Amino acid sequence: MKDIKAADFGVGLGFAVIGAAVMYLAADLQSMPRGIGPGGYPRVVGIMMILLGLIQVGRVLSAGGLPSFAFTFNPRPVFQVGAALAGAFLYVYAVKYIGFVTLTPFLLYFLLMLFGYKKYLKAAIISISVSTVIYLVFARMFMIFLPEFTLF
């Protein structure tokens, strides 16, 4: 609960600051003699952001003062989310060189292990078969280009 209050306070404050930044940046955009121009709409959005951000901050403060920022840190899920995203980002940058068919089973195997699936042989079979099916459906049936292995 404390975490949520602190997060709400931070988000509210950040929202108001971003809203102010949007208004500042929108002031540089070309204005028009008639109509709202390219900057008019972002200015409206900026005002709404500032208002909502301040309301959020006000709500948190009115419900019991400035929240303490003592986060309860559970490293396991943070590591898992981080590892899943890092694996996915790494895959995204490597797949154009190594190719979809070659690399995807490894990513899927890694994700299965990360999610706690401990049947290693079954996981390997699932990784290879699912990757093959996805390749056939996307690349062969719907003719969607998927990266292939290339030396150059």
The answer to whether residue 22 forms part of the interface with other proteins (CB under 8 A) is: yes
What does each C-alpha distance from 121 to 21, 61, 72, 112 come to in angstroms? 53, 54, 37, 12
String marking each residue 48-87 x if it binds other proteins according to CB under 8 A? xx--xx-xx--x---x-------------x--xx--xx--
Inter-axis angle of helices 37-62 and 2-27, to 10 degrees? 160
The answer to whether residue 13 forms part of the interface with other proteins (CB under 8 A) is: no
92-131 positions binding other proteins, by CB under 8 A = 92-93, 95-96, 100, 104, 107-108, 111-112, 114-117, 126, 130-131
CA distance 61 to 132: 54
- Amino acid present at 42: P
CA distance 31 to 40: 8
Residue among 89, 131, 86 at smallest CA distance from 108: 131
Q: Give the binding site for other proteins (CB under 8 A).
A: 4, 7-8, 11, 15, 18, 22, 25, 29-30, 32, 34-38, 40-42, 44-45, 48-49, 52-53, 55-56, 59, 63, 77, 80-81, 84-85, 88-89, 91-93, 95-96, 100, 104, 107-108, 111-112, 114-117, 126, 130-131, 134, 138, 142-146
